[in-house]
Amino acid sequence: MAKSKTVFVCQNCGSESPKWIGKCYSCGEWNTYVEEIAIVGKQSGSLSASPSSASARTKPVPVNEVAVDQVPRIDTRIGEFNRVLGGGMVPGALVLLGGEPGIGKSTLVLQMAMQLTSHTVLYVSGEESPQQIKLRADRLSKDQGAHCLVVSETSLEKIINHIDNTNPGLLIIDSVQTMEREGVESAPGSVSQIRECTAAILRVAKERSLPVLLIGHINKEGSLAGPKVLEHMVDVVLQFEGDRHYMYRILRSIKNRFGSTSEIGIFEMQGNGLREVTNPSEMLLAHQDEDMSGIAIAAAIEGMRPFLIEVQALASTAAYGTPQRSSTGFDLRRLNMLLAVLEKRAGFKLAAKDVFLNIAGGLRVSDPAIDLSVVSAVLSSNTDLSVSREVCLTGEVGLSGEIRPVTRIEQRIGEAEKLGFKTIVVPRYNKGIDFKKFDIRVVQAGKLEEAFKQLFA
Ligand code: TYD
Ligand code: MG
């Protein structure tokens, strides 16, 4: 028997090296090289390589003469999922769905599979037995599910056999880390296995115009486990995220060859599966009538949708020398920056205070327009003066204490008005907007002091 050759492969980016190295020269990550058995020569052609179609495809043509047959997108029957995909699944597209363990990836795809009665769905699971899938399916849906075929399988060759035999309209693979291909000697989940298996699935998907949903795990650093190579190969990368202790889940698009990446889908995990949240604001605002200190409402935009979100802060005298700063759902460095601005530009003494910040509902918000409500909540807690619950705020805070303009201000004001707020504080520098057309009172503020005067007068 020939001696098998080994190479070291970066588990982050897929670069190879003949010997072990500590730092990847390609992606710069440390300690990511793992010894894998090299794939010698070409793979056997058993996975339906079709040379005839290749030669037909390789003639250059002017782009305006390329024939496109308008393929209808497949409606997934889950509105929020369609929204993130840009209108539904595209035939032949490879969609990678990533997320931490237990966040609800299998639940989401099974729910979709059960509802997609118009297509034969092949659900391949390398993690659960058909019995387990059946138990979950019973919880999720009352439908019979005769169109949804389940199989517990990890061998790529057998999966491709099943595709040939059942001719599905949608293929689901849970998860890509469990698949293994014969002839690739590395363990399932290694870069070589993932790359080879995904490439083979990709070929089948494109040949048959079969849409494929791949589930992928996320590693402890929060990126899709294994390799960046995977993200390059697929057409769409979606991420399912949320705090496991809360019921809200957000589906984000990181890459989409067929649509925008700015959309998000919001779900709520319930006892019988995921429920779509079409009106996020109403759920995210805690329903209290009393005014309380330390709370400010922000008019934020995540994806394309405006929603109002509650920012809670607690500032208390530090018990130890170094004050603690902690934040949930908001960037801690940004919080530190905002506290420094409050200290230096607005003259509030926060250096000896512990500051805790929390975005209600377990959401992670990256919209800078919530800055103004973050500083207002901190200040409200520090002075023990409440911000009226009829007021909401939007604005980015700059280093000199100025309130900087935000995007899509009219949508934010519209959402606040719709939810019955009486006043909204907006940046003065958002010019060219006719605020008179709104029924809500719009207060323009150029500096922090002006906003505070409005809130705490
Ligand atoms: P799961 O889809 O198995 O997560 P993943 O595939 O991402 O690892 O879902 C895991 C969690 O969802 C599990 O801890 C229980 C919860 N869950 C519900 O709350 N309601 C339900 O109807 C289902 C099916 C799961
Ligand atoms: Mg799962």
pLDDT digits (tens, 9 = 90+) for 269-294: 998 999 998 877 766 676 666 778 99
What's the rounded mean pLDDT across residues 332-348?
92
Residue 225: pLDDT above 70? no
| Better-predicted residue by pLDDT, 222 or 100 | 100
Any ligand 1 atom below 6 A from CB of 272: yes
Backbone angles phi, psi at 301, to 5 degrees: -130, 125
Rounded Cα distance, 405 and 143, in Å: 50
Residue 198: pLDDT above 70? yes
**pLDDT-derived band of residue 402, with 50, 70 and 90 as boundaries?**
very high
Any ligand 1 atom below 6 A from CB of 136: yes
Residue 412: predicted pLDDT = 93
Separation of CA 244 and ligand 1 centre (Å): 10
Separation of CA 427 and ligand 2 centre (Å): 44
What's the rounded mean pLDDT across residues 191-218?
91
Could you tell me which residues come within 8 angstroms of residue 54 by beta carbon, excluding any fewer than 6 positions away?
Answer: none
Q: Do residues 184 and 129 both lie within one domain?
A: yes
Rounded Cα distance, 157 and 45, in Å: 12
Please provide the average confidence, as pLDDT, over all residues in the chain. Answer: 87
The encoded tokens of residue 111 equal: 């729910």
User: Is 52 inside any structural domain?
Assistant: no
Residue 315: pLDDT above 80? yes
Residue 285: predicted pLDDT = 72
**pLDDT-derived band of residue 316, with 50, 70 and 90 as boundaries?**
very high
Greatest mean pLDDT among 6-10, 81-85, 291-295 lies in 81-85
Q: Do residues 85 and 231 both lie within one domain?
A: yes
Q: Do residues 273 and 288 both lie within one domain?
A: no
- Domain boundary, last residue among 277, 308, 337: 277
Which ligand gives the minimal distance to the CA of 242?
1
Rounded Cα distance, 371 and 351, in Å: 19
Q: Do residues 201 and 177 both lie within one domain?
A: yes
- The percent of residues above 90 in pLDDT, for the chain, comes to 50
Measured by CA distance, the residue closest to atom 23 of ligand 1 is: 273
Separation of CA 177 and ligand 2 centre (Å): 11
Q: What is the CATH number of the domain that holds 235?
A: 3.40.50.300
Separation of CA 367 and ligand 2 centre (Å): 30
Residue 250: pLDDT above 90? no
Separation of CA 150 and ligand 2 centre (Å): 14
pLDDT digits (tens, 9 = 90+) for 24-42: 888 888 888 888 877 665 4
Measured by CA distance, the residue closest to atom 18 of ligand 1 is: 271
Residue 45: predicted pLDDT = 45
Q: Do residues 328 and 179 both lie within one domain?
A: no
| Better-predicted residue by pLDDT, 23 or 58 | 23
User: Is 49 inside any structural domain?
Assistant: no
Residue 102: pLDDT above 50? yes
The domain tally of the chain equals 3
Residue 229: pLDDT above 80? no
Any ligand 1 atom below 6 A from CB of 106: yes
Greatest mean pLDDT among 6-15, 310-319, 355-364 lies in 310-319
Residue 25: predicted pLDDT = 87
Q: Do residues 37 and 129 both lie within one domain?
A: no
Residue 84: pLDDT above 70? yes
Q: What is the CATH number of the domain that holds 331?
A: 3.30.230.10
Backbone angles phi, psi at 205, to 5 degrees: -60, -45
Any ligand 1 atom below 6 A from CB of 244: no
Ligand 1 pocket test target in 96, 100, 107, 111 with most atoms within 8 Å of CB: 107
What's the rounded mean pLDDT across residues 420-432?
90
Residue 53: pLDDT above 60? no
| Better-predicted residue by pLDDT, 133 or 13 | 133
User: Is 288 inside any structural domain?
Assistant: yes
Q: Ligand 1: which atom is nearest the Cα of residue 139?
A: 22
- Domain boundary, last residue among 250, 277, 304: 277
User: Is 54 inside any structural domain?
Assistant: no
Q: Ligand 1: which atom is nearest the Cα of residue 272?
A: 22
**pLDDT-derived band of residue 441, with 50, 70 and 90 as boundaries?**
very high
User: Is 194 inside any structural domain?
Assistant: yes
Q: Do residues 273 and 287 both lie within one domain?
A: no
pLDDT digits (tens, 9 = 90+) for 109-120: 999 999 999 999
Which has the closest alpha carbon to 283: 270, 304, 296, 266?
266
Q: Do residues 268 and 329 both lie within one domain?
A: no
Boundaries of domain holding 423 = 282-456
Q: Do residues 163 and 29 both lie within one domain?
A: no
User: Is 63 inside any structural domain?
Assistant: no
User: Is 368 inside any structural domain?
Assistant: yes
Name the burial class of residue 165, with classes exposed (0-12), middle (13-18) and buried (19+) by CB atoms within 10 angstroms of its CB. Answer: exposed
Residue 100: predicted pLDDT = 86
**pLDDT-derived band of residue 263, with 50, 70 and 90 as boundaries?**
confident
Q: What angle do CA 45, 49, 51 make, to 5 degrees?
A: 120
Q: Do residues 254 and 109 both lie within one domain?
A: yes
Q: Do residues 301 and 397 both lie within one domain?
A: yes
User: Is 71 inside any structural domain?
Assistant: no
What's the rounded mean pLDDT across residues 191-196?
86
**pLDDT-derived band of residue 324, with 50, 70 and 90 as boundaries?**
very high
- The percent of residues above 70 in pLDDT, for the chain, comes to 91
Q: Do residues 201 and 248 both lie within one domain?
A: yes
Residue 222: pLDDT above 70? no
Residue 66: pLDDT above 50? yes
Separation of CA 394 and ligand 2 centre (Å): 38
- Domain boundary, last residue among 230, 261, 277: 277
* Cross-strand partners of 123: 150, 172
Any ligand 1 atom below 6 A from CB of 269: yes
Residue 431: predicted pLDDT = 84
Any ligand 1 atom below 6 A from CB of 41: no
Which has the closest alpha carbon to 377: 411, 335, 337, 412?
335
Residue 56: predicted pLDDT = 52
Separation of CA 97 and ligand 2 centre (Å): 11
Measured by CA distance, the residue closest to atom 13 of ligand 1 is: 102
Residue 44: predicted pLDDT = 47
Residue 120: predicted pLDDT = 94
Any ligand 1 atom below 6 A from CB of 139: yes
Residue 319: predicted pLDDT = 82
Rounded Cα distance, 256 and 97, in Å: 12
Any ligand 1 atom below 6 A from CB of 103: yes
Q: What angle do CA 73, 79, 80 make, to 5 degrees?
A: 110
